[in-house]
Structure 1
Amino acid sequence: MSSKKRQLTGLVSVATALALCFTIAPGAAAAAPDPANEAADLIAEVAPDQGTVVGTTPKGDTLVSSTESGETVVSTDVDEPITFIQNDSDTGGVLEVPLPDEVQLEAPVVADDGTVFYEGVNGTTDVAVQTLADSSIRLQTIIPEGSGASVKFTYDFGADARVLEDAETGQVYVEQGDTIVAEIDDAWAYDAEGQPVPTSYEIREDSIVQKITPTRGTVYPIVADPKFITGTNNWFGGRFVAARFTIAETTRIAAGGAATAAIGTLIGMVPGPHTAIARSVLQGIGATLVLWAGGARALNKCVELRYYYIAHKAYGLYYSGTTKGCR
């Protein structure tokens, strides 16, 4: 063997020995998985319209994300709701969303990008909360393999909240008192390869239930979310009056026999200076109100007629709930 070959063989042996030393040395072990950052990376890769995630600041036992419109407050106690507080204390509202009952979670930790991450107990579904720069909030579930052929998550909004559905567009809103505090964006779910997974929302009383149905080709984990668009209470046009009709009244309006009386009831609620314009707007929507009421009955819900007297616009809204006047 030539001296050059012997030298090369010796170098390879030394390199191999060093590699083995570094491989087994305790200080050189591979870094442990970081579930929070892994979740944030997955969301950034597959979620539609990612947006810019706002960082968090610890305040006592909460994590606070601030935007121009308000603050998202996440408690370190998993039993406490996620809260968005609008900056305008006079007209602003408060959105409260407890974590879904269907999940069991560890205390939250914060990923590098500001995502608040709750790891699921014993490898079950994780939850990731993101406040985006536009003041919207994404409450995402990260669903592992073995979760079942169909998965559901329920989102409540507190005893005083109402979930309303626009009779014309189907858009869903959350209202506290007389303030709409959030618009709920369309349901979405994507798998680990960025492929869409069938999903939909169902309104049950004043809760939203998201159903996710994986297919044979779904690659886990799945990311799904409700996105709450917050930061303004002026979706429709400011101050309003509203007439809510029970299921029996909605049925009569749908039959065409009570629409005129219903509209007259609403006109009587409008403040004096705005009454003339209100009458001219509302007296022309009788046929539309009949259609709205029919749509409500098809969903086993009630209709609310609402008139925004600054914007001079009328809306039909579907609502339900025995404690909210529907029955």
Structure 2
Amino acid sequence: MRRGVIAGLSVFAGAAALATTLAPAAVADTNTSASGAAAVIEKATGTAGLRSTALDSPVDGAQVTLPARGDEPITATKGDTTVSLTLPATGSKQQSSTDGTDVFAGNEASVNAGAQATTDGGFRALFTLNDANAPRQQSFTLALPAGVTTRQTAEGGLVVFDADGAIIGGLETPWAKDANGNAVPTTYTVDGDTVTQTVTPNADTAFPVVADPKWTWGIISGTVYFNKKETSHLAANAGFVAVVFAAAPPPFDAYGVLNAANISRVAWNAGSDHKCVEVKVPTFLPYEYSGGHCK
């Protein structure tokens, strides 16, 4: 199976990564040991969606392999497609929880890294910033098949398209949580085959902070993508939009119908810009996009 780095990449969360030196948060816990890192991670992610056994058997056609060492990649294969993500970690595995979280030492002080296989055939690559002195950015190496294209979603996730414009999968919207379960602002930037997640705590953030890129096969974050022909139909007739979404399960059918006029307006603008329209579910907010399925 050939693997390649991200091709045709044109996604950036901003013009530059956020600064890594921020004022220390006022509320901070002590550095989390490897023995406690799995519990910290699972408090943030929960355990219901984790695979703890039988990783050698596929789930929904996808095979996931977790690394034995921190510098080895997490890999997932579905059909002829293999993707991998290498943690910002080093050394041998330090801990494996009974629920399915593997823990490694981070590349930098006050950071742990973790890996989880999920019941949807995907995986999480996690890190914990254990105290206010931990660096705010962590970088992962993402390897994708040759010939794919990528783009960022409106919420900051990353969608991967094959050579025909069909969605392979991608990284879900980035998230981070502090020790109290509160959301912490976070973003991705992508440069070549490097995905960097930046976490921005504030004075009220309680450490440790947990964050992760999560790989999922198929549609990412409930985004529906329309090609150029479909976009032109959406732009020409709001009634067509209503028909398209009327087939969705309740209550999404009603939401789609109610937002038909707005979707049609954005589709018209997208056509004028030689772009396509994407619609987020369940908000049914439309956005313009280019590349990938926009053919």
Partner of 1:54: 51
CA displacement, residues 45-95 of structure 1 (integer Å, 9 cap, x when unaligned): 233x653310245xxxxx757423321112324333211011xx3xx5222
Partner of 1:162: 149
For the aligned residue pairs, the C-alpha RMSD in angstroms reads: 4.1
CA distance in 1, matches of 2:77, 2:179: 33
- Match of 1:163, as an amino acid? T
Q: Show the counterpart of 1:133.
A: 119
Q: Work out whether 1:107 is the aligned partner of 2:92.
A: yes
Match of 1:95 among 55, 72, 83: 83
More helix by share: 1
User: Measured at CA, do residues 202 and 65 of structure 1 come closer, stay the same or move farther in structure 2, by a change above 3 Å?
Assistant: farther
Alignment length, in residue pairs? 219
Kindly indicate whether structure 1 or structure 2 has the higher relative contact order, using CA contacts under 8 Å at least 6 residues apart: 2
Q: Does 1:288 align with 2:286?
A: no
- TM-superposed deviation, 1:289: 3.0
SS at match of 2:176: strand
Q: 2:41 maps to which residue?
A: 43
Gap regions ≥5 residues in structure 2: 1-31, 237-266, 278-288
- SS of the equivalent of 1:105 reads strand
Aligned CA distance change for structure 1 residues 170 and 193 (closer, same or farther; 3 Å): closer
- Equivalences for 1:1-327 in 2 at 5 Å? 35-36=34-35, 38-47=36-45, 50-56=47-53, 64=56, 66-86=58-78, 89=79, 92-99=80-87, 103-108=88-93, 109-120=95-106, 123-148=109-134, 150-158=136-144, 160=146, 161-165=148-152, 172-175=158-161, 177-178=163-164, 180-205=167-192, 207-230=194-217, 281=233, 287-291=269-273, 293=275, 303-304=290-291, 306=293, 315=294
Instruction: Decide whether the 8 Å contact of 2:189 with 2:195 is kept in 1.
Output: yes
Q: Which amino acid is the alignment partner of residue 112 of structure 2?
A: D
Percent identity between matched residues is: 22
3-state SS, counterpart of residue 66 of structure 2: strand
Between the aligned partners of 1:283 and 1:190, the Cα distance in structure 2 is 39
Matched residue SS, 1:79: coil
Q: Which residue of 2 aligns with 1:17?
A: none
Give 1:40's aligned amino acid: A
Instruction: Summarize the Cα distance change of 1:146–1:69 in structure 2 as closer, same or farther, 3 Å threshold.
Output: same
Kindly provide the CA deviation profile for residues 166-190 of structure 1, in whole angstroms up to 9, marking residues without a partner as x.
Answer: 5x78753124554633232211111
The SS at the match of 2:272 is helix
How many Å apart are 1:224 and its aligned residue? 0.4
Report the Cα distance in structure 2 between the residues aligned to 1:110 and 1:193, rounded to whole angstroms: 23
Tell me the TM-score normalised to structure 1 length: 0.53
Tell me, in whole angstroms, the C-alpha distance in 2 between the residues paired with 1:35 and 1:223.
14
Distance 1:44 1:169 in 2: 24
Deviation at 1:221, TM superposition (A): 1.4
Per the alignment, in what secondary structure is the counterpart of residue 291 of structure 2? strand
What amino acid is aligned across from residue 70 of structure 2 in structure 1? V
What does residue 256 of structure 2 align with? none
The alignment's TM-score, normalised by the length of structure 2, stands at 0.58
Conservation of the 8 A alpha-carbon contact between 2:231 and 2:276? no
1:289 partner SS: helix
How far does residue 232 in structure 1 lie from its aligned partner after superposition? Answer: 7.8
Contact 1:65 1:131 in 2 (8 A): no
Query: How many angstroms does 1:122 deviate by?
Result: 7.3
